[in-house]
Amino acid sequence: MFTKTLGIGIAALALAACGSPSSSGGTSPSAASTLTVVAGFYPLAYAAEQVGGGQVAITTLASPGVEPHDLELTPAQVVQIREADLVIYIPGLQPAVDEAIADVDPSHVIDATAGLTLLPTPGDAESGATATDPHVWLDPLNMSAIGQTVESRLAALNVQGGEAFAARQAIFAAKLGALDSSWKAGTTTCASHDLVVSHEAFGYLANRYGFTQIGLSGISPDAEPDPATLAKVAEFVKAHSVRTIYSEALVDPKVVTVLAQETGARTAVLDPIEGIPAGSNATYLTLMEANLAAVTEGQPCP
């Protein structure tokens, strides 16, 4: 939760965002101009929304409730990508987006992983493969860095709106810093730091807060775990007295439920925040707070 001092600072920044147009000249759009932004899926759209505010019109390619890995683009969406002022994506997460972006001017594209320290995909560190884990947004400090990149690129497209973008980014960074502090404080006393999850989306979160991720399936949530992996994880759960196995919001929890019944563990939801269910009022911040509550109860962290 925010302290009173932090709340005052954020309020001041919000006022600055509303009332401080830039005096920059040139041929850039005015501060009131609306930039079109296309985001591959929800977390990237959220970052653009927090930084861009009313100065951006955002289109999210993956619809609410749809698993973004499975996205197939319509012809209209391909046109949106080509015509956008800015496209934000994560390479390798949505192959259809990777293909469409190949035809876009790189000056209008943000690779959200650029500048971040990337982790190898689970298992690759041992095999020597070079693929990287795309789930960078589950580390709040990575989200803050993504927001900073978005702010810089929006300001380059609309110089006169730069002060407002910077003010919103400062607010966003403060919220994410507070979230990071809450996670650090909430997970220091966990009885177990073994995080058994339905699919290996939580590598960055585990790395940031000192957990070891054990997944039933790999990077893709659609991959069915093979019997050998299930048996191995079941043995691990029993041997290490794992109390909780985590399923996720957009994937059928039946495998997790069966494994929990066989091992005596309980189940809980840990959301990879790849999308928001249709009609939900949840946000990245509220879902990360719910994830923290699930982990502190499930590990447990008194």
Question: Which pTM does this prediction carry?
Answer: 0.86
* Distance, CA of 34 to CA of 203 (rounded, Å): 36
Please choose, from the candidates 54, 86, 283, 58, the residue with its C-alpha nearest in 3D space to the C-alpha of residue 164.
54
Cα–Cα distances (Å) from 26 to 49, 172, 239, 289, in that order, read 26, 28, 66, 43
User: What domains are there in the chain, each with its CATH number?
Assistant: 33-183 (3.40.50.1980), 189-298 (3.40.50.1980)
Q: Are 184 and 211 in contact (CB under 8 A)?
A: no
pLDDT in single tens digits along all 302 residues of the chain: 434 333 434 444 343 334 333 333 333 444 558 999 999 999 999 999 999 999 999 999 999 877 888 899 999 999 999 999 999 999 999 999 999 999 899 999 999 999 999 999 876 444 444 589 999 999 999 999 999 999 999 999 998 999 999 999 999 999 999 999 999 999 999 999 999 999 899 999 999 999 999 999 876 665 678 889 999 999 999 999 999 999 987 778 899 999 999 999 999 999 999 998 888 899 999 999 999 999 999 999 99
Rounded CA gap, 116 and 181, in Å?
A: 20
- Burial call 136-173: b when 16+ CB within 10 Å, e when fewer: bbbbbbbbbbbbbbbbebbbebbbbbbbbbbbbbbbbb
> Would you give the DSSP letter of residue 9?
H
Contact (CB, 8 A) for 50 and 172: yes
H helices within the chain, ranges in order? 4-19, 42-52, 75-83, 95-101, 124-127, 140-157, 162-187, 203-209, 227-239, 254-263, 284-298
What pLDDT does 208 receive?
A: 98
